[in-house]
């Protein structure tokens, strides 16, 4: 770093100028292996970050904050690990780690990480962005130059650090955000179901009338879906918490201490509370992104689960006159700019769109996973962005469903009873006594005459009214059996 970029003993982090604008403080010159580069005078980054800012202008936005957070945790743990292994002076290691912690505590810190998603496929630019920013801040703390490559990046490569940051970020989001959100939704369904046990509705297959079901059974099915999603995600947690760190350039661990990876994982666990572990072999975690592809696949399955629940809610809420009108979702906002009084199922619609985005993200991650060429996958930033966005969307969707749809919807009992009383499929309960063909004849007659099935069955069989009332009781039919 230049003398100008490392001057001052202050530890504050000045706000970074927006990329592409003329900085208020003018420019300074920074140098890397390719020569000199003009960098905004107030920026904490150096030459390699600036080259990336100028080279990558695809409009994809910067790397996710969760990825940057994970990268900073790794850099702090790496500095401390190298200190413990006798490879960095204690004061230098502390300055780097303290600088990382200061950035993590500063809500403005994303401004210092301007490199966008569509960059070099290894994420080298983002890794160097972190190295340069931390070198600048550590130098200010120490009052002497700190090298982004030789000190902050000691024992590391972008090729093992970026895959590790993807795993750390994904593990943190799973633990802190997505799994709690899904558990919240499962609990909301569990709590709501018993309050609706008395409500029996027409079941539907192929969107056509079928045998009756209770509302608590419907919600129980949704809850089982959510729990299955939780179980699938939990099963992947150990793999997500396994890191490529220590593989350095190609997986062999050149230029790093043999105990570096294990020491770093122990320190990461202390920082985050998650049990990270070094990979037994790093080649697969660097040359491929199979764990990310698997996690994305489970996120897609979770999205499908939430879309199913959202669509069921939309259908049951349809109407209020020409639809099913079985439930009424909370009225959250006007539904039309031209039709007064119209209210739409906005939360289920938003959840369905979020789920569609997750499915799209999974398609991109699948393609990115195929870009493992020999010892390195070269679509790592895209994997990071899509994986973390999917988790964020699903966490928000699950909580919105729980709090703004499931918790507040009410049941239209009158509509349920009207539909059930005229449901010809109830005749299925008579199959064991009158046979399938006779039951079908009764059902067709009831439908054609637009009459309750019990009245038609009384005329077309020798069963008593009392026996038919028992056999055709919708609530009894939800219990199964003969």
Catalytic residues: 206, 336
- The CA distance from 64 to 388, in Å, is 7
- The CA distance from 292 to 242, in Å, is 12
- DSSP annotation of 129 reads H
- The CA distance from 208 to 405, in Å, is 25
- The CA distance from 477 to 479, in Å, is 5
Q: Which residues contact 424 (CB under 8 A, 6 or more apart)?
A: 209, 442, 443, 444, 446, 447, 453
The answer to whether 330 and 404 have CB atoms below 8 angstroms apart is: yes
The answer to whether 71 and 125 have CB atoms below 8 angstroms apart is: no
The answer to whether 321 and 195 have CB atoms below 8 angstroms apart is: no
Give the position of tokens 């369904």. 189
The answer to whether 290 and 387 have CB atoms below 8 angstroms apart is: no
Closest CA to 426 of 470, 380, 472: 472
The answer to whether 113 and 46 have CB atoms below 8 angstroms apart is: no
The answer to whether 30 and 46 have CB atoms below 8 angstroms apart is: yes
> Quick check: helix, strand or coil at residue 38?
strand
User: What six digits make up the tokens of 433?
Assistant: 């006594």
The answer to whether 152 and 71 have CB atoms below 8 angstroms apart is: no
User: What six digits make up the tokens of 224?
Assistant: 């089982």
């Amino acid at each position: 770093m230049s003398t100008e970029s490392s001057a001052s003993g202050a530890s504050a982090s000045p706000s970074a100028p927006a990329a592409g604008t003329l900085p208020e403080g003018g420019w300074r010159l920074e140098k890397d292996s390719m020569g000199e580069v003009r960098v905004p005078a107030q920026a904490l980054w150096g030459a390699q970050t600036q080259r990336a800012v100028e080279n990558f202008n695809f409009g994809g936005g910067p790397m996710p904050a969760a990825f940057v957070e994970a990268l900073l945790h790794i850099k702090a743990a790496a500095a401390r690990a190298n200190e413990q292994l006798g490879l960095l002076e204690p004061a230098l290691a502390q300055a780097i780690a303290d600088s990382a912690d200061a950035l993590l505590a500063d809500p403005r810190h994303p401004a210092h990480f301007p490199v966008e998603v569509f960059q070099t496929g290894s994420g080298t630019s983002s890794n160097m962005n972190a190295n340069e920013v931390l070198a600048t801040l550590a130098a200010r703390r120490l009052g002497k130059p700190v090298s982004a490559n030789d000190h902050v990046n000691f024992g590391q490569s972008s090729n093992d650090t970026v895959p590790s940051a993807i795993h750390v970020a994904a593990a943190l989001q799973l633990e802190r955000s997505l799994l709690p959100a899904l558990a919240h939704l499962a609990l909301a369904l569990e709590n709501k179901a018993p309050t609706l046990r008395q409500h029996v509705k027409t079941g539907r297959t192929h969107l056509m009338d079928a045998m009756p079901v209770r509302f608590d059974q419907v919600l129980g099915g949704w809850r089982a879906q959510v729990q299955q999603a939780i179980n699938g995600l939990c099963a992947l947690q150990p793999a997500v918490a396994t890191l490529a760190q220590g593989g350095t350039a190609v997986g062999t661990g050149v230029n790093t201490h043999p105990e570096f990876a294990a020491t770093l994982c122990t320190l990461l666990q202390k920082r985050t509370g998650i049990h990270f572990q070094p990979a037994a072999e790093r080649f697969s975690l660097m040359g491929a992104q199979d764990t990310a592809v698997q996690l994305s696949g489970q996120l897609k399955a979770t999205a499908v689960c939430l879309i199913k629940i959202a669509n069921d809610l939309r259908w049951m809420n349809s109407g209020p006159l020409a639809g099913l009108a079985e439930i009424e979702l909370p009225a959250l906002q006007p539904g039309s700019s031209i039709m007064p009084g119209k209210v739409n199922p906005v939360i289920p619609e938003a959840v369905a769109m979020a789920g569609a985005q997750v499915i799209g993200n999974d398609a991109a991650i699948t393609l990115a996973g195929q870009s493992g060429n020999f010892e390195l996958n070269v679509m790592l930033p895209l994997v990071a962005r899509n994986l973390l966005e999917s988790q964020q969307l699903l966490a928000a969707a699950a909580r919105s469903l729980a709090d703004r749809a499931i918790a507040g919807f009410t049941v239209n009992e009158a509509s349920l009873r009207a539909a059930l009383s005229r449901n010809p499929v109830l005749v299925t309960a008579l199959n064991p006594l009158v046979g399938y063909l006779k039951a079908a004849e009764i059902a067709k007659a009831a439908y054609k005459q637009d009459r309750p099935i019990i009245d038609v069955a009384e005329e077309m069989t020798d069963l008593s009214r009392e026996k038919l009332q028992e056999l055709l009781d919708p609530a009894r039919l939800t219990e199964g059996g003969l």
